Amino acid sequence: AQTVTQSQPEMSVQEAETVTLSCTYDTSENNYYLFWYKQPPSRQMILVIRQEAYKQQNATENRFSVNFQKAAKSFSLKISDSQLGDTAMYFCAFMKHEGNTPLVFGKGTRLSVIA
């Protein structure tokens, strides 16, 4: 079975600064997908970024980037130029490569961006 661990229950960052959220996972699969989802107070789960395990290149989406270390089973999210709208719960998630399989979530990190 897969497990996902987020060791930082809460974090805060000053507006315009950079913050890194940590995620580690455990799996015996060789091919899989990793995701970061954002959940603001509206409770909508919003996809932030996606990484395919068989791609060595780290995914980036505008101000969001990941540091994917497959051997270490680590998948951290870096948010650059933090904005007040980035305040939310962030969940790291794992999905098997075979498709149409459920996500396995970490416990989440509550990020507060301070003006």
Partner 1 sequence: SAVISQKPSRDICQRGTSLTIQCQVDSQVTMMFWYRQQPGQSLTLIATANQGSEATYESGFVIDKFPISRPNLTFSTLTVSNMSPEDSSIYLCSVEVRLTDTQYFGPGTRLTVL
Q: Which residues bind partner 1 (CB under 8 A)?
A: 33, 35, 37, 42-45, 47, 50, 52, 91, 95, 97, 99-100, 102-103, 105-108
Residues 6 or more apart in contact with residue 45 via CB below 8 angstroms: 37, 38, 39, 91
Task: State the nearest-atom distance from the C-beta of 19 to partner 1, in Å.
Answer: 20
Nearer to partner 1, 14 or 31 (CB): 31
Nearer to partner 1, 41 or 115 (CB): 41
Q: What single-letter amino acid sits at 91?
A: F
Residue 56 and residue 64 in contact, taking contact as beta carbons nearer than 8 Å: no
Q: And the tokens for 56?
A: 């060595």
Nearer to partner 1, 30 or 42 (CB): 42
